[in-house]
Amino acid sequence: MNYKPKIMDLYILIQLVLISGAATSAMTWFSYFMSKNYRKLYKEPVLLSSVLVQMNIDITNECKNNLGWFLHFVIGFLFVSVYHILWAEDILAVSPLSALILGVISGIIGIISWVFIFKITHYRPPLGFRDYYIQLFFAHIIFTMVATALYFLTLILLIVTKAYFTI
């Protein structure tokens, strides 16, 4: 392919929103599946909501639940945006190997982030932390695999769309 995407335009913003939504959903599905299988609380949006409850923020519980989900998807968008920059600037190729590398790095960042969140909020959810972090690591690999595959597919669609349509 001889098309080099810009860092950001309307097409790419839409592309990244769709990709991050699908990748975050895939990751969340995996976490919910693991939660159900192992009867543990591995659900990131629920944990985020619980952290908000722990912080005594003066909003309703329903708002905290919605905010937990919103934050989960915003964080997914931020991860995909960083991947996009790495791919658009030819720092990494759009490939299964780069997906694995980004998944490992993202998994480590996710684990460090949750350790930090639990530490600063003094929230101790009823879960086995070692098992949760292992699950979280693999959830991030799933996230990046889905994001990479969809990025590749939408890049092809973006090339075709830009050739025939303007916004």
* pLDDT value of residue 6: 59
Q: Is the pLDDT of residue 57 over 90?
A: no
Residue 79 has φ and ψ, to the nearest 5°, of -60, -50
* pLDDT value of residue 54: 80
Among 68, 154, 69, 151, CA closest to 102? 151
User: Could you tell me the pTM of the whole model?
Assistant: 0.86
Q: Considering only residues 94 and 10, tell me which one the structure prediction assigns the higher pLDDT.
A: 94
12-29: per-residue pLDDT in tens? 898 899 999 999 999 999
98-138: per-residue pLDDT in tens? 999 999 999 999 999 999 988 888 878 777 778 889 999 99
